[in-house]
Amino acid sequence: VLRGLKDSHPRVKAHAVRLAESFLRHSPEVLESLLDLCDDNNEHVLFQLAFTLGESRDDRAIRGLAGMAVRVGDHPEIQSALLSSAGESAGRLIDLIIRDGNALSKNHVPQILAQLASMIGTYPETTSAVGLLSDVTSPQVPLALQQRLLAGLGEGLSRRGTSLSVLLEEDQVPKKFRGQLADRFRHAARVAKDDQYPLDDRTAAIQFLGFADWTLAREPLRMFLSPQALQPLQMAAVQSMAVQDSDQVGDDLLQEWSGYSPRVRRSVVDAILSRSDRIQILLTAIESDFIKPSEIERDKKQILMNHPQAAIRSRSRNLFDSEVNSNRAEVVNNFQDVLELQGDVERGKKVFGEKCAICHQVGDIGYRVAPNLSSVQNKSPEDLLIAILDPNREAQPNFNVYTLVTGQGRVYTGIIATETTNSLTLQRAEAKQDVIFRMNIDTLTSTGMSLMPEGLEKDLSRQDLADVISFVKSIRIP
């Protein structure tokens, strides 16, 4: 293993890093060799190293992870590996990163810190959360970062059924923190409304308001749901309303439905799908024709029709089941004439961007969630037609959708992107991720279905199918 860690080939080195895990507790020399790799430039090595260092509780390993978090840049996979290795050391990592003189000037660092704060919020004991409150209010932490950290903490607390307000009532929380947090929320409301502030600051302020008391947050958040609001502010308002517990959230989110763009609608439905009571409001809106069934995207319908709660599942199937022929072999057979059509690559690229890019990436178009399409170059047009119309026939097991229900009743869906001793990371459309600690999982169930939904023939014409097949066949391996 020691020899492998010094190999010139990055793949050999990365494999040696993985093998090193079983020696970490007994060999200081192995740990030292791993720490030497924290400055490595190869992403395969750093990706595995982020996992492996998480198997050690030695403070030097924590310091190595903190240094990597600062230097790694915008590499989502490596960041996810780092976060999954944080475990009970999230507070220590935040402290080390904030103390690094170069950290706060890095664009990617605030997001990592916010996610670490979210992890602390999910801890069953509150000592770490109270400690984070003390660190956050330190004068060396900029106000914008304070809001990001508090928002992250609030998100973690909400995942285990509590909130910042409840935390502030803990006996060990000094009263001064309560006043400081109330001031932060009032300041955030002012920043959100003031277009003299940079867009990033306004967005962060809106995200922070998600953890304020609903009576304070409701009106500032609702004003950003209008079609006149800038889309980043709309999206932030939707996300902030999603973490609130009020019974009014579902109705408020749907009130402006007709004025939402497709991307905002997707986020609104995401916000609603996490709570059973909100789903019932959505289904009522569809039944009353306030929302057209065609306005709900196919993958969201699939989630609803396979919901863990029988009442929601039954109601959803009554609404959507007749749209899709369950005999997928028959559908494929009925669309064989698509193979006779002449496809157009440019038109197919447009169809891909509209219907496929939320999970597939080609060049700078789309999100990398589902398999890389360059891997299907050996597929015939017949095979691709089957893959589009009957996605579950040969679905790869590692791209099956899972439904996770927390102890607090929140529901998450997606493919398992990473899995460690401490946590699961579920990934869904648009590469959105949810990191859930195992201690918060009530049930985890595979739906046995692909992330790609059935029924796309309802959204695509025969010519659209021919065009997108031509586009996929045109993709060249870099």
Q: In what order do the strands lie in the sheet with 441-450?
A: 433-437, 423-427, 411-419, 400-406, 441-450
Token output for 76: 């989502």
pLDDT in tens, 217-254: 999 999 999 999 999 999 999 999 998 888 999 999 99
Q: Mean of the pLDDT values across residues 206-215?
A: 87
Tell me the C-alpha distance between 156 and 115, whole Å: 9
- CB–CB of 326/334 below 8 Å? no
Tell me the C-alpha distance between 140 and 455, whole Å: 54
In Å, how far are 8, 92, 270 from 304, measured between CA atoms?
50, 40, 11
Tell me the C-alpha distance between 194 and 375, whole Å: 48
The C-alpha angle 76, 369, 149, rounded to 5 degrees, equals 35
Tell me what pLDDT residue 228 has: 92
Check whether 461 has a pLDDT greater than 90.
Answer: yes
Check whether 50 has a pLDDT greater than 80.
Answer: yes
Residue 161, phi-psi category: left (phi > 0), alpha (psi -120 to 50), beta (remainder): left
Residue that the structure tokens 């090193």 belong to:
20
Tell me the C-alpha distance between 309 and 123, whole Å: 27
Tell me the C-alpha distance between 416 and 399, whole Å: 8
Task: Indicate the average pLDDT of the chain.
Answer: 89
Tell me what pLDDT residue 478 has: 61
3-state secondary structure of 163: coil
Check whether 212 has a pLDDT greater than 70.
Answer: yes
**pTM of this prediction?**
0.73
pLDDT in tens, 144-192: 788 788 888 988 887 777 888 788 788 878 777 778 888 888 889 999 9
3-state secondary structure of 195: coil
Tell me what pLDDT residue 189 has: 92
Tell me what pLDDT residue 421 has: 74
What kind and span of H or E run contains 436?
strand 433-437
Helix/strand/coil percentages in the chain, nearest 5? 65, 10, 30
Tell me the C-alpha distance between 285 and 181, whole Å: 37
Q: Mean of the pLDDT values across residues 347-362?
A: 90
β-strands 433-437, 423-427: how paired?
antiparallel
Residue 28 CA to its chain's centroid (Å): 36
What is the end-to-end Cα distance of the chain in Å, rounded?
33
> Among residues of the chain, what percentage have pLDDT more than 90?
51
Check whether 55 has a pLDDT greater than 80.
Answer: yes
Q: Mean of the pLDDT values across residues 63-74?
A: 90
Tell me what pLDDT residue 252 has: 97
3-state secondary structure of 402: strand
3-state secondary structure of 411: strand
Cα dihedral across residues 153, 155, 159, 160: positive or negative = positive
Tell me the C-alpha distance between 455 and 326, whole Å: 9
Token output for 27: 């060999």
The C-alpha angle 134, 237, 423, rounded to 5 degrees, equals 55
Query: Which one is predicted more confidently, 478 or 1?
Result: 1
Check whether 347 has a pLDDT greater than 80.
Answer: yes
pLDDT in tens, 390-449: 998 877 778 889 999 988 788 899 999 988 777 788 998 888 888 787 878 899 999 888
Q: Mean of the pLDDT values across residues 64-84?
A: 90
Check whether 356 has a pLDDT greater than 80.
Answer: yes
Alpha helical stretches, state H, 290-390:
298-305, 310-320, 328-334, 345-351, 381-389
| Letter string b/e over residues 295-334, b meaning 16 or more CB atoms within 10 A of that residue's CB | ebbbbbbbbbbbbbeeebeebbeebbeeebeeebeebbee
Tell me what pLDDT residue 430 has: 84
Tell me the C-alpha distance between 426 and 404, whole Å: 9
Token output for 214: 């609903």
